[in-house]
Amino acid sequence: RPRPKKPLTIGFAQTGAESAWRTANTVSMKSEAEKRGIDLKFSDGQGKQENQIRAVRSFITQGVDAIVIAPVVETGWDPVLREARRARIPVILTDRSIQTSDESLFSCFIGSDFYEEGRMAADWLAKHTGGKGRIVELQGTVGSAPANERRKAFAEGIAKYPGLKILDAQSGDFRRANGKEVMESLLKKHGRTIDIVYAHNDDMALGAIQAIEEAGQKPGKDIVIVSIDAIKEAIQAVVDGKINCTVECNPLFGPKVYDTAAKLLAGEKVPKKLFNKDELFDHTNAATVVASRQY
Amino acid sequence: MSDSALRKTPVIWPLIGLALLVVLNAVMNPAFLRITLLGGHVYGVPVDILVQGSRTMLLALGMTLVIATGGVDLSVGSVVAISGAVCAILLQGGTALAVTLAAAVGAGVFAGAINGVLVARIGIQPIVATLILMVAGRGIAQLIVGGQVIIIASPRFEFLATGFVFGLPFAPLLVGLLFFATHLFLRRTAAGLFVEAVGDNETASRFAGLAAARVKALAYVFCGACAGLSGALTAANIRAADAYGAGANAELDAIFAVVVGGTALTGGRFSILGSFLGALLIQTLTTTMYNVGVPPAVAPMPKALLIIAVSLLQSERFRGWIAGVRTRKRRAIA
Amino acid sequence: MSDSALRKTPVIWPLIGLALLVVLNAVMNPAFLRITLLGGHVYGVPVDILVQGSRTMLLALGMTLVIATGGVDLSVGSVVAISGAVCAILLQGGTALAVTLAAAVGAGVFAGAINGVLVARIGIQPIVATLILMVAGRGIAQLIVGGQVIIIASPRFEFLATGFVFGLPFAPLLVGLLFFATHLFLRRTAAGLFVEAVGDNETASRFAGLAAARVKALAYVFCGACAGLSGALTAANIRAADAYGAGANAELDAIFAVVVGGTALTGGRFSILGSFLGALLIQTLTTTMYNVGVPPAVAPMPKALLIIAVSLLQSERFRGWIAGVRTRKRRAIA
Amino acid sequence: MEQEPLLQLRGITKRFVGVTALQDVDFRVRAGEIHALLGENGAGKSTLIKVLTGVHAADAGVILFDGRDIHPESPKAAERAGISTVYQEVNLIPALSVAENIALGRQPGRFGFINWRAMRRHAREALSRLDLTCDVDAELGSLSVALQQMVAIARALDLRARLLVLDEPTASLDEKEVAELFKVMRRLRGDGLGIVFVTHFLEQVYAVSDRMTVLRNGQLVGEYATTDLPRLALVGKMLGREVKDEAGRQSAPAPVVPVEGAAAPVLEARRLGRRGAIQPLDLTLRRGEVTGLAGLLGSGRTETARLLFGIDRADAGEIRVRATPAHLRSPRDAVRLGLALCSEDRKSEGLLPNLSVRENLILALQAKRGAWRTLARSDQEKLCAHYIRALQIKTPDAETPIRNLSGGNQQKVLLARWLATQPEAIILDEPTRGIDVGAKAEIEQLIAKLRAEGLAVLLISSEIEEMVRNCSRVLVLRERTLAGEVSGDALTPERLMHVMAGTHE
Ligand SMILES: Nc1ncnc2c1ncn2[C@@H]1O[C@H](COP(=O)(O)OP(=O)(O)OP(=O)(O)O)[C@@H](O)[C@H]1O
Ligand SMILES: Nc1ncnc2c1ncn2[C@@H]1O[C@H](COP(=O)(O)OP(=O)(O)OP(=O)(O)O)[C@@H](O)[C@H]1O
Ligand SMILES: [Mg+2]
Ligand SMILES: [Mg+2]
């Protein structure tokens, strides 16, 4: 394949370093760049959009070949993206998309499909429980996009199965400690009527597992547990039979992002919306991937 | 504690709040108060409240002294994260439990010493001085664990947070013991008087021969130690060090607990028992919201309302005003 | 402002900090100071700093008065979210721009009035009183927008944050004008004096015939109004109301700016100019971290270090200590 | 010539928790008179004034001002009605400048424009009316207590008031300032103002007042024309018993005679000084001797005391305690070496307002012992009971927060705080400030007793008579320099005044 004479320079405006998922995401971007000999200009936005905008501007002045943004918020990107277009630098959005009146301002979006994740969880449940069971839902941080999407998709997914009922829903803030605490309360409130736990992320599920064990029940057996993210620890829990299923929210964006960037720079057309492939892990396949899991 | 009515008053309001919450819960869900034996130990919602609340109580204990000296420590949440990270790394490396715990508390003491020096020796305003560690501390914790959530696989460590002795939960017992010991220490020795004196009028205390700066600094050190231990409990509770999430917003809860417990942010008089009840009240409220099924979106509201209610009741001006309205009404009727 | 040297001192340290940062940036990246004309208006990093910083400056302006009265307003971030939500809903409904802006500021005034009543009339401690709206306010904002991010499609509204007049950015001009007007108002009338008097010694001010409670309450109302306008700017800047993220942690930056600008959290003397410079300094630092390429893990550190440095320099005790060390050294040499 | 009183309080009752501060008190002030309000510490004088000016709401009674029933809800309302007040404690804003303090609350309109230059000029004029020159841009808090007091008076005089209320304005003033104040008071009286004047200095009462009202235990004793009531009778009315001498003493003060072993120096200062505060000076406090430190306002007496007690670091000279060089880095060091300093600034350097009388009283002793050697609760209570009795401290009980005590009684508690440490040397900076005649005599007797027991005392007082009565030797400071020493037969008020003023040559 034709190698560019000069190594590619790509600017990446990351959101921050707020979670293990994000760290894995950063690592993937960096290590993959190293592997491919790409000069990656990395910038940490510390959770602030203005920082990211500033970073993007500096990428433009430095004349990078492509810009990758993991936007902190969905809105307010138009001005800086216009500047990038003026400088003819393609922009790839990752992880979260943006809201804009002019879709041509960015080349494509590569992300995790939170909605799809929620739907996959619902489908798996429907299939493996025979469409029956009382569910408690551990929601993510109120108002956040993944929590919103995963809640909506799941609700819509189980709507077709009248036997699947949401008994209770509380926010565990995506945190392990809160997941545990909420689960403890719900266990006491609903006694042994809980059949299923649906957690918006693995951390909360892992917290809930502890609560269930401390209540003298067997997670994965007495109570079916479904969660999202598929971090290594959760896949191990699937292997151990404590989590029944975890839907991947793959943070390893590196390969896909750089592939896409190369295509864009070569003038190829790419779809506007690309999803990083998310898999689903349950007892059938967890054991095979757990060893090779990096995060 | 002195028997004077003055000291006891602040404790009344959190007690009443607590009673109201318990009644509310018991009505909504009669199982709320049920405590059963499960696998040889007590089991039930009140047990959960004590166990979950023990970490905030510990923070409130340290915070009480800092607030009594007229300061505030915003860094406790970050110290919890640091201490948890230290525990995880050490346990991962096979360090003995006692050493690990000492290191966790030691990390807290170190952090507290930094705060203490900044506030007491150099004279930086407490909010600013401790904000620095609050902001930087979480980064430090993340450096320690290398940005990972580190799993802790030590049953003995886990016991700290989830263990039972003689069928009773260990963490609340430990914390209760620490409260009692602190209370005894502060009230049986002159230490409590010194803290209150420094908080009430630092200059006057210094002129009376107190080492005011040392008293203040030690309050921060103690607060750091409490936060360090609380960090160990937090890590033990979830069997992992979560540098990003551990202790997030914990400083707010601790401050709330202290204020609701009747210790004024302006310093001076403090109530250890009040802080205990304040922390218990806040945890009970959190649990109540799960129990009652408050929708997550409006969950922050009840807490805000509770705190405002207790603060209102503690405000002399408000009580006077209410009394005034009543008298006026009575007069109008007569 | 009075001409006394005393008042001018606090402004020195943020100025020095600012100068150092600019030099650092210019050395690391000579393009830093380059300002060009692009499409008929100025363009460059310093312009960005002013535009991005304008929202924090506005918050710092209101916060200065609140802090000067001896209080603090933790709710400004939530008010920013509320006001942005109000703007979005109204503009969506086709309301006129002027009415929308009035409503945004009005929402801030309303929030400020609640804080003011709680603090000044009922006597709840400022941290607690404003924490309530801080916690509950974001929920309110989310209720207003129904949990959605609402897009604003009004170029005239957007102009507030991103427009240019005579080639100069509008937002900093507006904010600068407000600072100047506030400064004039406070120093040409007795209002500034009242604020400082109440902040320094509330009882004495009351005894001296000031309506201390009213002065305090008005400070919160003004702070709320500033936060309301800042919320409109924030929404205009991202052309959307983001109830979840708008103004998050904004209160910290505002407090930092005020403190770095030389106004003590204990109340009393304040410096409007200092707060302006403080906010500018903080924004410049943020931008600098980009320019210099600080690694993510240590990103919170520079801010913490800067704040501690300025606080240290402002601490008389520290300066005295440094001076003492120097004298002792000199003596040792002699 | 009976005219309608300018101010009339009828049946005023004010109760605090556990205390009835005022019980059915009547009080009248006419236009054009100086009316002294008198009574022991805790009699209710300040409370009456606070009711009158809207700080406290009375539980019962009416306030007629100019024949109208005013109901002042706040000091602001009282000020609007034409009542201008100097409260007992220095009650201005320390962080603001002198000029700003004087201007505060009396700008044209509510948010009217300020002319800073005019404000300064105005302040200078107000101060010059009291024959005071000081930097009007100086921060008020940096001034000595006496100067702050003068500024507060200047501010009150400045208001276009019809009634002027002065609660112990002269407590920390020198004769010269008092004379200036009286001049102004007399002039205002001539202008038809009514003036309420609270003081514990009887000679001032007789020097300036026209009428007087006496309170005892919150009750009205009576209203008298000053010329009708001789001093002895007045003291009797205040104390509620027959007295043999003017100060209300049952017996004469112990004579000032040196005691055995008086030669041993306890505290010595050699060339002790601090740049900008005090020129290097020598000073020796001996066992069984009361040494005076005299000087005019701002002459540096308090600064000297601060150096001796380790509050400020000296940058020249040395201090010896019992002949051993001592490095005093803080008051703590001084306390541990057996020194004590009762500060002149009661409010900011003495009181722990929210703590109880007991805690305030034992604090220094406990600090001296350290946190570990805790005083048993019963010992604390015994100590309190002892001093409450010995100094006749008027308090419901030892657990009352000290802020609820009257000014004079607070002062007594602070004095007790230091006596309880059983110091070897004690520095008393204006110890009788705001203390009533009876108690003042008790304290003087106490000083004499302590001296007889071998204590070394350094007494700082603006009351020259008091210095002469109590000291065997007086050092005089002038402009922060030791200007001389007066002792023996030369120690007379006249001589002392001359040395202080620098006119003795
Ligand atoms: N806020 C308060 N709460 C409770 N008791 C109070 C309060 N203020 C005053 N008292 C009590 O009221 C009584 C009268 O006090 P007041 O201050 O009027 O005395 P005073 O005559 O001014 O004495 P002094 O000469 O010492 O200034 C005292 O017994 C005092 O303890
Ligand atoms: N902290 C300070 N900062 C600046 N000036 C001060 C400070 N303390 C005292 N001074 C000034 O130093 C001078 C000496 O004050 P000092 O209090 O020692 O006088 P004094 O002789 O005790 O008089 P007084 O009768 O007023 O107490 C005064 O002019 C005072 O204003
Ligand atoms: Mg009085
Ligand atoms: Mg003095």
pLDDT one-digit tens code per residue, D184-201: 899 889 988 999 999 988
Residue C300 to residues A17, A42, A63, B280, C247, Cα–Cα distance (Å): 11, 17, 28, 33, 18
pLDDT at D420 over 90: yes
pLDDT one-digit tens code per residue, B290-329: 888 887 777 777 777 787 787 777 777 777 777 666 655 5
Tell me if chain C has a CB within 8 Å of the CB of D316.
no
Question: How many whole angstroms from D146 Cα to the centroid of ligand 4?
Answer: 7
Best mutation target among D328, D332, D413 (most B Cβ atoms within 10 Å) is D332
Is D94 in Cβ contact with C200 (below 8 Å)? yes
Three-state secondary structure call for residue A171: strand
Q: Which residue has the higher pLDDT, A55 or B331?
A: A55
pLDDT winner (highest mean) among B130-139, B290-299, C178-187: C178-187
Residue nearest to atom 24 of ligand 1 (CA): D41
- What domains does chain D contain, in order, with CATH numbers? 7-239 (3.40.50.300), 265-501 (3.40.50.300)
pLDDT at D111 over 60: no
pLDDT at B4: 43
Give the least confident one: B129-138, B186-195, D344-353: B129-138
Q: Is D145 in the pocket of ligand 2 (CB under 6 A)?
A: yes
| Angle formed at CA C222 by CA C221 and CA C223, multiple of 5 degrees | 90
Question: How many whole angstroms from D337 Cα to the centroid of ligand 3?
Answer: 35
pLDDT at C163: 85
Contact assessment for residue B311 and residue B260, using Cβ atoms and an 8 Å cutoff: yes
Residue D496 to residues B256, D179, D292, D474, Cα–Cα distance (Å): 60, 17, 11, 8
Is chain A in touch with chain B: ≥3 Cβ pairs within 8 A? yes
pLDDT at B325: 62
How large is the average pLDDT for residues C160-170?
88
Which tokens go with B309?
């209610």
- Touching subunits for chain C (3+ Cβ pairs under 8 A): A, B, D
pLDDT winner (highest mean) among B127-131, C108-112, C140-144: C108-112
**What does the alpha-carbon distance between residue D440 and residue D465 come to, in Å, rounded to a whole number?**
12
Best mutation target among B200, B202, B207, B218 (most D Cβ atoms within 10 Å) is B207
Q: Give the DSSP letter of residue D375.
A: P
Contact assessment for residue D140 and residue D91, using Cβ atoms and an 8 Å cutoff: no
Three-state secondary structure call for residue A146: helix
**What does the alpha-carbon distance between residue D358 and residue B190 come to, in Å, rounded to a whole number?**
13
pLDDT at A112 over 80: yes
Q: Which residue has the higher pLDDT, D409 or C139?
A: D409
**What does the alpha-carbon distance between residue A92 and residue D120 come to, in Å, rounded to a whole number?**
65
How large is the average pLDDT for residues A39-68?
83
Contact assessment for residue B243 and residue B84, using Cβ atoms and an 8 Å cutoff: yes
Residue B85 φ/ψ, nearest 5 degrees: -65, -40
B/e letters for B214-242, b = 16+ CB within 10 Å, e = fewer, are: ebbbbbbbbbbbbbbbbbbbbbbbbbbbb
pLDDT one-digit tens code per residue, A244-254: 999 998 888 88
The DSSP H or E segment spanning A40 is: strand A39-44
- pLDDT, chain D, mean: 87
- Residue pointed to by tokens 């501007």: A57
CA–CA min distance C223, chain A (Å)? 23
| pTM for the model | 0.86
pLDDT at D160: 76
Q: Is D438 in the pocket of ligand 1 (CB under 6 A)?
A: no
pLDDT at D390: 87
CATH 1.10.3470 fits B52-317, yes or no: yes
Q: How confident is the model at residue B264 (pLDDT cuts 50, 70, 90)?
A: confident
pLDDT at B40 over 90: no
Question: How many whole angstroms from D38 Cα to the centroid of ligand 4?
Answer: 25
pLDDT one-digit tens code per residue, D451-464: 888 899 999 998 88
Q: Which residue has the higher pLDDT, D453 or D3?
A: D453
How large is the average pLDDT for residues D248-277?
68
pLDDT one-digit tens code per residue, B165-182: 998 999 999 999 999 999
The beta strand positions in A159-200, using DSSP E, are 164-171, 196-199
Q: Is D38 in the pocket of ligand 1 (CB under 6 A)?
A: no
Q: How confident is the model at residue A18 (pLDDT cuts 50, 70, 90)?
A: low
Tell me if chain B has a CB within 8 Å of the CB of D130.
no
Q: How confident is the model at residue B134 (pLDDT cuts 50, 70, 90)?
A: confident
Q: How confident is the model at residue D248 (pLDDT cuts 50, 70, 90)?
A: very low
Is B248 in Cβ contact with A175 (below 8 Å)? yes
**What does the alpha-carbon distance between residue A228 and residue A30 come to, in Å, rounded to a whole number?**
24
Q: How confident is the model at residue B333 (pLDDT cuts 50, 70, 90)?
A: low
Which tokens go with D418?
């230091």
Beta pairing partners, D85: D165
pLDDT at B2: 39
Residue nearest to atom 4 of ligand 1 (CA): D404
Q: Which residue has the higher pLDDT, C299 or D97?
A: D97
Which tokens go with D231?
């001093």
Q: How confident is the model at residue D251 (pLDDT cuts 50, 70, 90)?
A: very low
Is C125 in Cβ contact with B264 (below 8 Å)? yes
Compare all CA atoms of chain C with the CA of B115 and give the residue at the minimum distance: C308
Domain boundaries, chain B: 52-317
pLDDT at D252: 45
Residue nearest to atom 18 of ligand 1 (CA): D44
Residue D394 CA, closest ligand 1 atom number: 29
Long-range contacts of C21-29 (CB under 8 A, 24+ apart): C21/C281, C21/C284, C21/C285, C21/C288, C22/C284, C24/C288, C24/C292, C25/C284, C25/C287, C25/C288, C25/C291, C25/C292, C28/C291, C28/C292, C29/C291, C29/C292
pLDDT at B198: 96
Q: What percent of chain D has pLDDT over 70?
A: 93
Q: Is D407 in the pocket of ligand 1 (CB under 6 A)?
A: yes
Residue nearest to atom 14 of ligand 1 (CA): D44
pLDDT at B135 over 50: yes
Q: How confident is the model at residue D33 (pLDDT cuts 50, 70, 90)?
A: very high
Tell me if chain C has a CB within 8 Å of the CB of D92.
yes
pLDDT at C293: 62
pLDDT at B219: 97
The DSSP H or E segment spanning D294 is: strand D289-295
pLDDT at D112: 65
Q: Which residue has the higher pLDDT, D495 or D244?
A: D495
Q: How buried is D242 (Cβ within 10 angstroms: 0-12 exposed, 13-18 middle, 19+ buried)?
A: exposed
- Touching subunits for chain B (3+ Cβ pairs under 8 A): A, C, D
**What does the alpha-carbon distance between residue A252 and residue A22 come to, in Å, rounded to a whole number?**
10
Give me the torsion for CA of A199, A203, A205, A208, rounded to 10°: -120
- Could you tell me what percentage of chain D is helix, strand and coil, using 3-state DSSP and rounding each to the nearest 5? 35, 25, 40
pLDDT winner (highest mean) among C64-73, C144-153, C254-263: C64-73
pLDDT one-digit tens code per residue, D431-447: 888 888 888 888 888 88
Three-state secondary structure call for residue C71: coil
**What does the alpha-carbon distance between residue D281 and residue C257 come to, in Å, rounded to a whole number?**
47
* Chain pair A-C, CB pairs under 8 angstroms: 67
pLDDT at D173 over 90: no
Give the least confident one: B108-117, C10-19, D26-35, D69-78: C10-19
Q: How confident is the model at residue B246 (pLDDT cuts 50, 70, 90)?
A: confident
Contact assessment for residue A80 and residue C237, using Cβ atoms and an 8 Å cutoff: no
Nearest to A185 among B149, B244, B290 (CB): B290
Helix H, strand E, coil C: the string for D140-203 is: HHHCCHHHHHHHHHHHHHHCCCCEEEEECCCCCCCHHHHHHHHHHHHHHHHCCCEEEEECCCHH
pLDDT at C32: 77
Q: How buried is D371 (Cβ within 10 angstroms: 0-12 exposed, 13-18 middle, 19+ buried)?
A: buried
The beta strand positions in B92-166, using DSSP E, are 150-151, 164-165
Compare all CA atoms of chain A with the CA of B44 and give the residue at the minimum distance: A188
Contact assessment for residue C191 and residue D105, using Cβ atoms and an 8 Å cutoff: no
Q: Which residues contact A157 (CB under 8 A, 6 or more apart)?
A: A118, A119, A121, A122, A123, A126
How large is the average pLDDT for residues B42-62?
93
